[in-house]
Structure 1
Amino acid sequence: MSITGLRKPVHSAVSPIPSKSVKMASKPEKGEPRSTKGKAKLAKFTPKLAKLAPKLAKSKRNRVRRRGGTRKRRYDQRRKTTTILPLEEKQAEKQLETPIARLSYDQGYQEGLIAGGERILEEHLPSDLIIPDLTVREAVAAGVQVLKNRGIPLLDSNAVYRELEEALRGKKSYAFIRLGDGELLTLAQEKVLSLEEISRAGYFLPYAGVNIPNLEARDELATCVKVASLIGVPMSRASYFQPLLFAVLRAHGIEYEKLRYTTSTMNYLLEEQGLLLKLLRGRKVLVIGDVAAQLSEALIMQGVEVTGVITPVNGYADYPRVVAEANAYDYDIALVAAGIAAIPIAVHLAGVGGKVTFDFGHLANRMAGLAHPERNESTP
């Protein structure tokens, strides 16, 4: 037997290609079902569905056509609505961006200046003096020690307590007011700063009781500063605090060397050191302001006699009514927490009634257990 006879026949896995003479199965005509067997099963299972099959197929083809047409229409519509800005408009947009970028740069520069030299200077200034018109450059060149002769003394908490105590015992008029950025911006209207700058920097002024412009409030505050017994002034070197203080005093012709000063946060210091309650106990107290009712309750719980409450105070324009109403009460000291209006209220009550008045600020909120801003030198 030959070697070829020992080979087993190999069966290919691929079906043989039919010859051209073999007739291939014809493609079903349009609408004719591809499988008669499948149609029979479908008809046997759901006769109604079998009748609907051609219609469902036709509906599917129509949906495909509609979707394609919708996409095309949307694309055409987007092309029609897309506009190209002319070159002049693009250039105008770039020009609009330039002032904004410049403003951001200037603002960042000022903030960096304050956070740098001004803040370092603030840290090294003595706590018992304020130095008018001091600049960082001048301080670095000459040294703060050399400039002490320009300083104006500030009363500390013990000195303030003694003055208030003596005024209460002697039944003397005494008005303790405090100046923050809100009061200083109000005083600066068209004297030091433009109304535009004040409106921008003093966005909070309506909350504090003054709508810009209000030149009547400006002049009234200046008059009150001239006659106040003690003025709390800011220690911050930020633009609208201590630097603005001396600028507005000079602009109003006020001889600041003749005024008496303490810090604008002295209200907090007196309370924290226990001197405030020591001052109020045994005296008749009138409480004025938007949170006067809550503050009076807190004071009564701590042994203070509250003889009157006036609330609310509707901004600076409301101060004449408040002063007139306060004159009907019997009291020794008035605590006034009424924003910028607290200054004319305190000064007029001290002048008319021979009373002791205290610009109390947001210490009223804290003592009443209400939400209040962080302790700072701002008006709000």
Structure 2
Amino acid sequence: MAQGTVLSATEVSRQGPFLAYAGVNVPDIKARDVLTAAVQAASVIGIPLSRKPTFQPLLFKVWRALGIDWERIRLTTSTINYALEEGDYWPKLMAGRRVLVVGNAAAPLARVLGNRGVRIAAAVGPVRGISDWERVAEEASGHPFDLALVSAGIAAVPICVRLVERTGKAAVDFGHLADRMAGLEYQPKIRR
């Protein structure tokens, strides 16, 4: 979202070597605009607690530049998914619900959750970056579910928003917790 707002595309690439892994090849102004619209439409947004320059301070600079009024957005921590795991809340949240799993780790995560007694509605994947979000959201919204766990990098935000709009059901950006729960390597190899 910082592209062309508070940082040049070159600077975004330099400071965000993980972005390609997360599904965005900078420069990509369309991705910025899709993510901006999704953030404004989401019911809750997770933000980083870190005060390091490229985390929370950059987020609020970007939101100001884009005219996003953070005081009108329900906020939580960007690591709420892990906090819920540490508190053993995910099993309670999934109990008795049809769970849709979306992302590149969807199939292995669905197997692990299914083995734990979770009723899996479907596993939808892969997600080929931010440019693939509409196709994935369309496919995923065709499955009846009660809770969607979406692990798709930056594409997760617009996918979650679209699923909620289309179905009225809950959708959560599950992040790398999907990889961890599925027993997959979940740290990108990034040259610094």
- TM category (shorter chain) comes to over 0.9
Match of residue 365 from structure 1: 179
d(CA) in 1 for partners of 2:181 and 2:70? 33
Following TM superposition, where does structure 1 have runs of at least 4 consecutive aligned residues deviating by more than 2 angstroms? none
SS at the partner of 2:20?
helix
5 Å-filtered alignment, 1:256-267, equals: 256-267=70-81
Match of residue 67 from structure 2: 253
- Mapped pair 1:324 → 2:138: yes
5 Å-filtered alignment, 1:307-322, equals: 307-322=121-136
Match of residue 87 from structure 2: 273
Aligned-partner residue type, residue 120 of structure 2: V
SS at the partner of 1:232?
strand
After the TM superposition, which of the residue ranges 306-315 and 197-206 deviates more from structure 2? 197-206
Match of residue 229 from structure 1: 43
- Mapped pair 1:199 → 2:17: no
SS at the partner of 1:274?
coil
Deviation at 1:195, TM superposition (A): 1.2
The partner residue of 1:238 within 31, 52, 55 is 52
Q: Please give the per-residue CA displacement for 1:279-322, whole angstroms capped at 9, x wherever unaligned.
A: 00100011001111110011011110001011111000111111
Deviation at 1:227, TM superposition (A): 1.6
Q: Please give the per-residue CA displacement for 1:199-244, whole angstroms capped at 9, x wherever unaligned.
A: 1111221111001111111111111111211111101111110100
Match of residue 300 from structure 1: 114
Aligned-partner residue type, residue 300 of structure 1: G
Aligned-partner residue type, residue 268 of structure 1: Y
d(CA) in 1 for partners of 2:71 and 2:95? 34
5 Å-filtered alignment, 1:136-147, equals: none
Deviation at 1:327, TM superposition (A): 2.0
Deviation at 1:348, TM superposition (A): 0.8
Q: Please give the per-residue CA displacement for 1:326-358, whole angstroms capped at 9, x wherever unaligned.
A: 122111111000000001100111112211000
Residue ranges of structure 2 left out of the alignment (5+ in a row):
none
Aligned-partner residue type, residue 186 of structure 2: H
Deviation at 1:373, TM superposition (A): 2.9
TM-score, normalised via structure 1 length: 0.49
SS at the partner of 2:91?
helix
SS at the partner of 1:262?
strand
5 Å-filtered alignment, 1:171-190, equals: 187-190=1-4
- Mapped pair 1:289 → 2:96: no
d(CA) in 1 for partners of 2:9 and 2:121? 41
Deviation at 1:271, TM superposition (A): 1.0
Aligned-partner residue type, residue 366 of structure 1: R
Match of residue 339 from structure 1: 153
d(CA) in 2 for partners of 1:204 and 1:363? 17
d(CA) in 1 for partners of 2:13 and 2:60? 20
d(CA) in 2 for partners of 1:318 and 1:276? 27
Structure with higher RCO (Cα < 8 A, 6+ apart): 2
Paired residue total:
188
d(CA) in 2 for partners of 1:248 and 1:315? 22
d(CA) in 1 for partners of 2:102 and 2:147? 11
d(CA) in 2 for partners of 1:332 and 1:277? 14
d(CA) in 1 for partners of 2:69 and 2:15? 26
Q: Please give the per-residue CA displacement for 1:9-41, whole angstroms capped at 9, x wherever unaligned.
A: xxxxxxxxxxxxxxxxxxxxxxxxxxxxxxxxx
Match of residue 26 from structure 2: 212
Aligned-partner residue type, residue 106 of structure 2: A
5 Å-filtered alignment, 1:64-79, equals: none
Q: Output the aligned Cα RMSD.
A: 1.1
Q: Which structure carries more helix by proportion?
A: 1
d(CA) in 2 for partners of 1:351 and 1:365? 26
TM-score, normalised via structure 2 length: 0.95
